[in-house]
Chain A
């Protein structure tokens, strides 16, 4: 029971916290890629979002203003990606790479110019952040064995964005698989010609998919800078956009699987933090780097076709040219 309280509960709670940016970002990628636009620029979107959220929250003192600014910025970046890859029919991967570079350069440059702290934004007070929420009945449920601690320490006590991330998964599933927009979005990722023939604008659909992704990217950035921490720090996305990309592939481009993949990768992250310098029975000390590399290794193994087959949307990466 002791191990349950001191190890399992904290690991599960931190799994959830570490998964949230991955869930938002992987869902952002899901909208884009399901519509046939590759989005390597997820990392940059998250970084821009984090910077915008922290900056707006620092100036206004409002977390909601931060969220709004993050969403706006991230959507603008998505539109830039759309302009390059949909309107100009440029290479989608190159455009994404460019966005990542611009994000890691511009955020530090602007942050340094505005706040003079080497790219950091000022430390935010709790009133300008999304802080932990305690769910109702925690005190009543806590004494119950097993369920009690799980409810009190794993499910309760997170900030609002954590719960929004969990809600975003079924919502995305509903949008993609139960609405007309979602049907068309998936169709345009598989066979844009057919959608065009049906009289629906391929470009506008893909733009809308990218805007959805931009909104989610804003949430991811907000979570990083003003919910999980209290300031923007240079390069704070630290490769999470790429892990989210891996999770998206690992989830075979399906919303519910995305949740599973992100929780798995979050768990690996949480475990690697817990394992630092500890020894396991039988195996001995597992190198932290091994656990950190595991999400990428698993994704490669999946891509090799050893755990099922990941089939990307058929029209992914191909700019649509209307027949003349």
Chain B
């Protein structure tokens, strides 16, 4: 992504600027709420209480956050290499196929702690495989990865509908979904961790894949900032020509980066299928692949930022559901709108307020660079 110009203290660049963008996105959302005749303050109240006010709300918030950490990391890894992987949705979907195949094969004969790692590996592998063709086309044929990953989202949707309707559907069932997984493929929920704190998670599906998400975040940090390969990724992202001069192999790096990105997206299926649904069903990713874009943008592609942004989006999802339930004029689409505004202000208009901040905070005496 394009490098910013003008010197700013790090806390302004990585703290204040994203914060301002976020506030503007929320202000605009508030205006929309006002426009359709509801009270923004009341709306915020419903959202925050709904998402954080009870053990169950918190459990759902963190459950959603788990999914968004995976997809956010997926988008971020590709961002570092200058690639826009918009195909997270399809990679999650196909990753779900891998997870479900392992679960269906082992759930009756193995305990969950054997099934889950294998399912995770399969989810990663299937998600990565779905990113392989777009990656290869970008690396070798120069076709734009944005276009190809969009195409692969739709191809994945058709493929999965076909498989679920014609191949994997439980005989005798009307709806296109697999049979329910049995206990050998269901992840333990985390209610026991919260009960000593006096919080009852109730039916919230928060499960052990939350820890896998955090671990993935740490591993992504190690990969991107502490390994030679990560250095190559970031070099290509910053300047492909310079990377070529430095002897970094473009094709190889792009393909491996996209495999990691697709794999991280595929891991999300573990949280949803084995942690909550207990089956593979049509359209289970329900947009989480796209939320990853907003999360990565807001988290500035850094794992810490991504975890925080994912929790914020978890609050939005859980709180938004409560909001839609209580306020008649507001539907669940409020979340989609807020998401769009966050992507707009934190992503596309990310540097809109920067010149003003440069004027305020630029170190005295330092030349203020203008975009050259």
> Is A304 an interface residue when CB atoms closer than 8 A count as contact?
yes
Interface SS, A side: helix
Residue from B1, B137, B343 in contact with A304 in the complex, judged by beta carbons closer than 8 Å: B137
A262 to chain B, nearest CB (A): 16
B133 to chain A, nearest CB (A): 7
> Is B199 an interface residue when CB atoms closer than 8 A count as contact?
no
B258 to chain A, nearest CB (A): 15
Is the CB–CB distance between A245 and B147 below 8 Å? yes
> Is A305 an interface residue when CB atoms closer than 8 A count as contact?
yes
User: When A304-B143, A324-B372 are in contact, do A109 and B137 touch as well, CB less than 8 Å?
Assistant: no
> Which one of A128-136, A161-169, A286-294 contacts B?
A286-294
> Is B337 an interface residue when CB atoms closer than 8 A count as contact?
yes
User: When A98-B348, A297-B155, A303-B137 are in contact, do A312 and B144 touch as well, CB less than 8 Å?
Assistant: yes
Complex CA distance for A310 and B141, rounded to whole angstroms: 11
Residues 309-354 of B contacting A (Cβ, < 8 Å): 329-331, 333-341, 343-344, 347-352
Complex CA distance for A104 and B32, rounded to whole angstroms: 14
Taking CB atoms, residues of chain A closer than 8 Å to B344 are: 84, 95, 98-99, 102
- B161 — nearest CB in chain A belongs to which residue? A289
Is the CB–CB distance between A289 and B336 below 8 Å? no
Is the CB–CB distance between A299 and B347 below 8 Å? no
Taking CB atoms, residues of chain A closer than 8 Å to B37 are: 113
Complex CA distance for A249 and B146, rounded to whole angstroms: 12
Taking CB atoms, residues of chain A closer than 8 Å to B32 are: 106, 109
Complex CA distance for A300 and B297, rounded to whole angstroms: 27
> Is B152 an interface residue when CB atoms closer than 8 A count as contact?
yes
Taking CB atoms, residues of chain A closer than 8 Å to B356 are: none
- B164 — nearest CB in chain A belongs to which residue? A289
Complex CA distance for A319 and B350, rounded to whole angstroms: 14
Residue from A89, A104, A299 in contact with B333 in the complex, judged by beta carbons closer than 8 Å: A104
Is the CB–CB distance between A98 and B340 below 8 Å? yes
Is the CB–CB distance between A94 and B141 below 8 Å? no
Is the CB–CB distance between A90 and B340 below 8 Å? no
Is the CB–CB distance between A94 and B343 below 8 Å? yes
Complex CA distance for A242 and B290, rounded to whole angstroms: 15
Taking CB atoms, residues of chain B closer than 8 Å to A84 are: 344, 348-349
> Is A105 an interface residue when CB atoms closer than 8 A count as contact?
yes
Complex CA distance for A101 and B340, rounded to whole angstroms: 5
Is the CB–CB distance between A109 and B348 below 8 Å? no
Is the CB–CB distance between A109 and B154 below 8 Å? no
Taking CB atoms, residues of chain A closer than 8 Å to B146 are: 38, 40, 93
Chain A, interface residues (CB within 8 Å), range = 35 or more
Residue from B159, B297, B334, B341 in contact with A293 in the complex, judged by beta carbons closer than 8 Å: B159
Taking CB atoms, residues of chain A closer than 8 Å to B101 are: none
Is the CB–CB distance between B331 and A299 below 8 Å? no
> Is A275 an interface residue when CB atoms closer than 8 A count as contact?
no
User: When A90-B350, A95-B347, A245-B150 are in contact, do A105 and B137 touch as well, CB less than 8 Å?
Assistant: no
Complex CA distance for A321 and B335, rounded to whole angstroms: 35
Complex CA distance for A102 and B152, rounded to whole angstroms: 23
Residues 76-90 of A contacting B (Cβ, < 8 Å): 84-85, 88-90
With most chain B CB atoms within 10 A of its CB, the pick from A84, A103, A319, A324 is: A84
Mask: chain A, 41-64; 1 = CB below 8 Å from B; 0 = not: 000000000000000000000000
> Is B10 an interface residue when CB atoms closer than 8 A count as contact?
no
A43 to chain B, nearest CB (A): 10
> Is A118 an interface residue when CB atoms closer than 8 A count as contact?
yes
Residues 112-141 of B contacting A (Cβ, < 8 Å): 133, 137, 141
Is the CB–CB distance between B343 and A97 below 8 Å? yes
Taking CB atoms, residues of chain B closer than 8 Å to A242 are: 150, 154
> Is B371 an interface residue when CB atoms closer than 8 A count as contact?
yes
Residue from A97, A119, A293, A317 in contact with B290 in the complex, judged by beta carbons closer than 8 Å: A97
Is the CB–CB distance between A98 and B343 below 8 Å? yes
Residues 171-192 of A contacting B (Cβ, < 8 Å): none
- B154 — nearest CB in chain A belongs to which residue? A296
Residue from B335, B340, B352 in contact with A100 in the complex, judged by beta carbons closer than 8 Å: B340
User: When A239-B154, A293-B155 are in contact, do A85 and B371 touch as well, CB less than 8 Å?
Assistant: no
By Cβ-Cβ distance, the 3 closest A-B pairs, closest first, are: A101-B340, A105-B337, A105-B336
User: Mind listing 9 A-B residue pairs with CB under 8 Å?
Assistant: A84-B344, A90-B348, A97-B290, A109-B337, A239-B154, A246-B151, A287-B162, A289-B159, A296-B152
Other A-B pairs beyond A93-B86, A242-B154, 8, CB < 8 Å: A90-B347, A92-B348, A93-B146, A94-B343, A105-B338, A108-B333, A293-B155, A324-B370
Residues of chain A at the chain B interface (Cβ within 8 Å):
38, 40, 84-85, 88-95, 97-106, 108-110, 112-113, 118-119, 234, 239, 242, 245-246, 249, 287, 289-290, 292-293, 296-297, 299-300, 303-305, 310, 312, 317, 319, 321, 324
